[in-house]
């Protein structure tokens, strides 16, 4: 099971798009988009509904910003249809409310001002399991997210850019039936030779994990155990030269962020 990877941070958006794109027609203007999608990308899927969960920060790392920008390019190509973006706690110890404010400020700069912005839960699956109940606020938020998925008209791909809390809570509490979800892309993992080891275990499993997994270990444990056929654990190894997203690429594509 450990060989499947589980934990790490997205620097390049490339690996997230196994779902939507075969890198081989429609030319994009900027270097970043060409770097990620290739010079002549074509859609492998057409208007595939995608729900994005993000713990975006507006200072420091910009991996979520790059990913959201590339999802917008995929939407313009007709490969996907973004149903909305859900805020979730995560980066730098930020709570869901802070991330929600970050997304409200940043999405217009990335071309996603038309995407519905949904407030994600405040509590981890780990917390809910220990207390054996959820807050009224989280129930209302998860119900609203579930309605977006149910109303999509076809199975949805959930892209978890932060901790996997939303997918795990939706499924474990029965807000959404598994048939409504096509795939869960969970960002975080390791490659061979990399280690994100702590003194705590991932639920009942193995002992390596990164920040996304550490934010809600039982969320990832639940998905690995009960929905592993839907789960794609996406990792990225830094320092691979051609895969690296450079400052010049970001500046060319996203001048508002530099």
Domain ranges for the chain: 2-16+46-239
C-alpha closest to that of 236 among 185, 182, 168, 164: 185
Say if domain 2-16+46-239 classifies as CATH 3.90.245.10.
Answer: yes
The contacts of residue 130 (CB under 8 Å, 6+ apart) are: none
Give which of 130, 241, 230 is closest to 170, Cα–Cα: 230
pLDDT tens digit at each of 258 positions of the chain: 434 444 333 333 433 443 434 333 333 347 888 888 888 888 989 999 999 999 998 876 788 999 999 999 999 999 999 999 999 999 778 999 999 999 999 999 999 999 999 999 999 999 999 887 899 999 999 999 999 999 999 999 999 999 999 999 999 999 999 999 999 999 875 555 555 544 444 444 444 456 788 889 899 889 989 999 999 987 655 444 565 777 788 888 888 786
């Amino acid at each position: 099971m450990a060989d499947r990877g589980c934990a790490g941070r997205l620097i390049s958006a490339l690996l997230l798009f196994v779902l939507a794109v075969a890198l081989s027609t429609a030319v994009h203007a900027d270097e970043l988009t060409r770097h990620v999608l290739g010079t002549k990308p074509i859609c492998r899927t057409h208007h595939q509904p995608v729900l994005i969960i993000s713990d975006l920060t507006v200072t420091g790392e910009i991996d979520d910003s790059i990913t959201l920008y590339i999802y917008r390019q995929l939407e313009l190509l007709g490969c996907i249809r973004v149903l909305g973006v859900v805020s979730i706690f995560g980066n730098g110890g930020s709570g869901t409310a802070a991330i929600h404010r970050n997304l409200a400020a940043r999405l217009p700069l990335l071309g996603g001002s038309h995407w519905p912005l949904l407030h994600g839960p405040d509590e981890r699956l780990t917390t809910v399991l220990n207390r054996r109940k959820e807050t009224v606020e989280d129930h209302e938020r998860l119900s609203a997210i579930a309605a977006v998925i149910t109303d999509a008209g076809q199975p949805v791909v959930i892209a978890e850019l932060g901790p996997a809390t939303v997918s795990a809570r939706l499924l474990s509490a029965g807000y959404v039936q598994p048939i409504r979800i096509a795939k869960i892309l969970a960002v975080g993992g390791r490659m061979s030779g990399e280690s994100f080891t702590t003194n705590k275990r991932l639920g009942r499993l193995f002992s390596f994990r990164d920040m996304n997994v550490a934010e809600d270990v039982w969320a990832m444990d639940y998905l690995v155990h009960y929905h592993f056929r839907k789960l794609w654990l996406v990792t990225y190894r830094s320092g691979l030269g051609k895969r690296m997203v450079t400052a010049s690429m970001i500046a060319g594509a996203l001048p508002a962020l530099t």
